[in-house]
Amino acid sequence: MEKRVTFKGRWLPLLLVLPQIAITAIFFFYPAGQAIWQSLFIPDPFGLSMRWVGLGNFEFLLSDPYYRASFVTTAVFSILVTLVSMGVALYLAVLADRLIKGSGTYRTLLIWPYAVAPAVAGVLWLFMFNTRVGVVTWYLGLLGYDWNHVLNEGEAMGLVVVASAWGRISYNFLFFLAGLQAIPKSVIEAAAIDGAHFWTRFRTIVFPLLSPTTFFLMVVNIIYAFFETFGVIHTITSGGPQQATTILVYKVYSDGFVGQDLGSSAAQSVILLLIVSVLTVVQFKYIERRVHY
């Protein structure tokens, strides 16, 4: 039995949803429309005139090897960020779930990094790994390892992945912990009596029952890695070295605001928009089916 409030008349309901519609229209539909419109032109660097090029921007982008490479970079980056942040968070949540004493303190400490803004997190990691004065770099040097993410592409990618994942672990941890605590204790006990040791229980009972949480976090984390890691990348590597950490969102910025190619930048935004819509639809349609509720 569903309880629904029904409003009579036409104007009151419209009035009630108006704020939401207004916000969506001003901050989403209008800019998205602008992006689509601008992607069809090449403006001059001073913004005084625009030349119609049709789909020229898109044609150029899709044949551009740097843009194609950025796709691969983005895929590698998002998959790594999602895996690292979710893996570590799940591990910590499993440990915290077993705690009886002091779990409150432990939880609070783990949640703190979430309050750190991505750009600040980026600077934090940058300081630690600074090639000249970084603490970690210095210790690595003592161990005989020459850390230089400014020159080494793999190290640069590793660093932005770790910095992006770090801030995300808290968020994932919270959801995983809630998910773990929602599993009835007696189910775990029944499995223990049935002869399942910790790891078997985790694999056959706990993880399948966590799958709704895991699925939700996967969607949220991929979207996070796509869009909200700009600050981290901007502060640590600025997309370098040799565009090794230029993910799609960063390329929109660097081509548009640094390179002043606003038409291409707009076209890239449109492509991103399409990718995210497709990604979300695919995720919900195909992965959700295999989730046990």
The answer to whether residue 180 forms part of the interface with other proteins (CB under 8 A) is no
By CB under 8 A, name the one of 148, 200, 238, 260 that touches other proteins: 200
By CB under 8 A, name the one of 95, 208, 257, 273 that touches other proteins: 208
CA-CA distance, 257 to 241, in Å (whole number)? 19
To other proteins, the closest distance from the beta carbon of 100 in angstroms equals: 12
CA-CA distance, 139 to 144, in Å (whole number)? 9
- Single-letter amino acid, residue 259: G
By CB under 8 A, name the one of 205, 233, 249, 270 that touches other proteins: 205
Runs of H (alpha helix) within 130-240: 135-142, 153-181, 185-193, 198-201, 207-227, 230-236
CA-CA distance, 41 to 157, in Å (whole number)? 34
The answer to whether residue 108 forms part of the interface with other proteins (CB under 8 A) is no
By CB under 8 A, name the one of 34, 105, 181, 204 that touches other proteins: 204
CA-CA distance, 244 to 265, in Å (whole number)? 19
To other proteins, the closest distance from the beta carbon of 173 in angstroms equals: 23
By CB under 8 A, name the one of 6, 20, 63, 186 that touches other proteins: 186
CA-CA distance, 233 to 77, in Å (whole number)? 11
Q: How buried is 189 (Cβ within 10 angstroms: 0-12 exposed, 13-18 middle, 19+ buried)? A: exposed
Smallest CA-to-CA distance from 210 within 243, 248, 238, 175 is with 175
The answer to whether residue 215 forms part of the interface with other proteins (CB under 8 A) is no
Coil vs helix vs strand at 147 = coil
To other proteins, the closest distance from the beta carbon of 144 in angstroms equals: 46
**# binding residues, other proteins (CB under 8 A):** 18
Q: Which is nearer to other proteins, 163 or 206 (CB)?
A: 206
The answer to whether residue 194 forms part of the interface with other proteins (CB under 8 A) is yes
The answer to whether residue 191 forms part of the interface with other proteins (CB under 8 A) is yes
Q: Which is nearer to other proteins, 54 or 184 (CB)?
A: 184
To other proteins, the closest distance from the beta carbon of 2 in angstroms equals: 19
The answer to whether residue 238 forms part of the interface with other proteins (CB under 8 A) is no
- For helices 118-129 and 153-181, the axis angle rounded to 10 degrees is 130
Q: Which parts of this chain interact with other proteins (CB under 8 A)? A: 184, 186-187, 189-197, 200, 204-205, 208-209, 292
